[in-house]
Amino acid sequence: MGRRKRPLEDMGITMSWKHANVFVTGATGLLGSWLSEELVRRGARVTCLMRDWVPASRLLASEAFSRMNVVHGELEDHALLVRALNEYEIDTVFHLGAQTIVGTASRSALSTFETNIRGTWNLLEACRQCSKLVRRVIVASSDKAYGSHEKLPYTEQVPLEGRFPYDVSKSCADLITLSYWHTYRTPVAITRCGNLYGAGDLNFNRLIPGTIRSALANEAPIIRSDGKFIRDYFYVRDAVDAYLTLAEKMLDGRLEDRAFNFGTEVPVSVLQVVETILSLMKRTYLKPAVLNEATHEIPRQYLDCTLARQLLGWRSKYTLEEGLAETIEWYSAPLERAAVA
């Protein structure tokens, strides 16, 4: 677990972000915290939209947070979004804010649709109204936007056919985003990522942080499914690399109205992930409890990232074992473990 971390500048990102005015929604979440911190480190002026104060958020504990502008409010507040883009003269938008938990979405479809769908069109409309300022908008969709298809892996040409509330919210937000390009020429690009994981994920009903927390407590990990579900597990540092690479490439005007798959292209079962974590943590004596009660989830899903390689020159750098080792290290540290307890 003492593996030397690669600086993101060594991962193919070369453009200077100095003095860029960047707006990040969902900045206190897993990807948002890593992306916002990296943008600040590169010299960008970051303004983040914050709905809830989350004391255990990795972002709030970072030195970078003291150098960010914070707008308190919700994606559902269109006037607030227009004000933020105008007053902070935003030129780049990363829209990561969303309700991201499948189980929560199933329990509360209305709030999920309000945040993920209405929140997206509110932000895009605000960007359209501030078109003299905003030069690029990167919207986080998801591999779940595709829904369930027999043919694997998914390419970007696969139809968006979400069926369950979370999946549908992402299908809709994805299509709405593209409509703003075709109708208003709003400079948008879409990311469809695999299952993100990494240090700072506080949603412990997710497989990886939940398993790590159980192992730290010397308890059997819980698997809600039958353990055979297949996913593409995508490390957050690779995701930051992907988002920044896409944003930089957008400036030549040739990648607007595009959606890109981002992942490792290595399908792994839920049980394999749990076993890898237990092995890295030297807890192989713990046997996972397989509940086989997961509902409203897609059994098999992973991505083809050929387009990202061809048009962006991007590919993932981290293996599952490397990403998990760094993630476990964060949760195992004394200060960070306090957020797990």
Residue 10 confidence (pLDDT): 45
Domain limits of the chain? 8-196+233-265+300-317
Q: What residues act catalytically?
A: 166
Q: What is the pTM of this model?
A: 0.92
Q: Under 8 Å CB-to-CB from 7, ≥6 apart: which residues? A: none
Taking the C-alpha atoms of residue 189 and residue 218, their distance in angstroms, rounded to an integer, is 43
pLDDT digits (tens, 9 = 90+) for 306-321: 999 999 999 999 999 9
Q: What pLDDT is recorded for position 66?
A: 93
Task: Give the span between the Cα atoms of 49 and 120, in whole angstroms.
Answer: 13
Burial class (CB in 10 A: 0-12, 13-18, 19+), 190: buried
Cis peptide before 153 (omega within 30 of 0): yes
- Give the integer Cα–Cα distance in Å for 138 and 22: 11
Give the model's pLDDT for residue 1: 43
Residue 59's φ and ψ, nearest 5 degrees, are -65, -45
**pLDDT tens-digit map of 36-80:** 999 999 999 999 999 988 888 889 989 999 999 999 999 999 999
Q: Which residues of the chain have pLDDT under 50?
A: 1-4, 6-14
The pLDDT score that the predictor gives to residue 341 is 67
**In this predicted structure, what is the pLDDT of residue 333?**
84
Report pLDDT for 338: 60
- Buried b or exposed e, range 211-228, using 16+ CB within 10 angstroms: bbbbbbeeebbebbbebe
Give the CATH number of domain 8-196+233-265+300-317; options: 3.30.420.40, 3.40.50.720, 3.40.50.300, 3.40.440.10: 3.40.50.720
Residue 99 is predicted with a pLDDT of 80
CB 32 within 8 A of CB 55: no
Contact in structure between 260 and 246 (CB atoms under 8 Å):
yes
